[in-house]
Amino acid sequence: MKKQYPILLAVWPYLSFLTVLIPAGQHSPFLWIACILATPVIYIINIIYVCRFRGEGAFYQMAFWNMVVKLCHIPFYLITALIGVLLLLVMVVPAFIFASPILVLMLTASNYLLMAVTSAYGVSALVRARSAGVVSGKCMILNIILHFFFVLDVASSIYVFCRMKKYRRAGQDA
């Protein structure tokens, strides 16, 4: 399995966030534009990778990377949630009355898109595990649904990985 795709997905939000923290005099707007343009490319590459990955134990590997990437993103989501709260608190300043809700909506949309892309790993793991007879249809559907709700997606990714690990271990013991 090529590890560079999920690893890049795990660190990309932090790398893109750093471009915002660099003072304007230290870089050109090119850095921001490059980051904005690279984001959908990285997301699409990861989705294609998830769809095309084949091999023995593919569902286990997908479940593993799903859990790892989602756990890596927790601090990023907490930071963006804090920024969102701060933006809503500064709405008392006239200049932020209109800008704050728009910025919060943009943060929320970008966070949800990131969560959906990382969930592709979990959905792939679940569909593959279902076709291998590792999970039931009901378990697959429930966990796929959970993968599209904040916080529940992390809990589901941990559950799915543990389930796949248990199955993998049982298969090795046989």
Got the DSSP string for 85-97? HHHHHGGGSTTHH
Query: What is the tens place of the pLDDT at every residue in 65-116?
Result: 999 999 999 999 999 999 999 988 888 888 788 888 899 999 999 999 999 9
CA 11 – CA 14 distance, rounded (Å): 5
Neighbour count for residue 67 (Cβ, 10 Å): 24
pLDDT at 25: 64
pLDDT at 68: 98
pLDDT at 141: 98
pLDDT at 126: 97
pLDDT at 172: 56
DSSP line for 103-163: HHHHHHHHHHHHHHHHHHHHHHHHHHHHHTTSS-HHHHHHHHHHTTSTTHHHHHHHHHHHH
pLDDT at 173: 43
CA 147 – CA 141 distance, rounded (Å): 10
User: Which region, left, alpha or beta, applies to residue 23 given φ > 0 means left and ψ of -120 to 50 means alpha?
Assistant: beta
Nearest to 164 by CA among 137, 118, 128: 128
* Pairs from 156-163 (Cβ < 8 Å, separation ≥ 24): 156/122, 157/63, 157/66, 157/67, 157/70, 157/71, 157/122, 158/67, 160/63, 160/66, 160/67, 160/122, 160/125, 160/126, 160/129, 161/63, 161/64, 161/66, 161/67, 163/63, 163/129, 163/134, 163/135, 163/139
Q: Is the pTM of this model over 0.85?
A: yes
pLDDT at 146: 98
pLDDT at 174: 40
Within the chain, which residues score under 70 in pLDDT?
A: 1, 24-28, 171-174
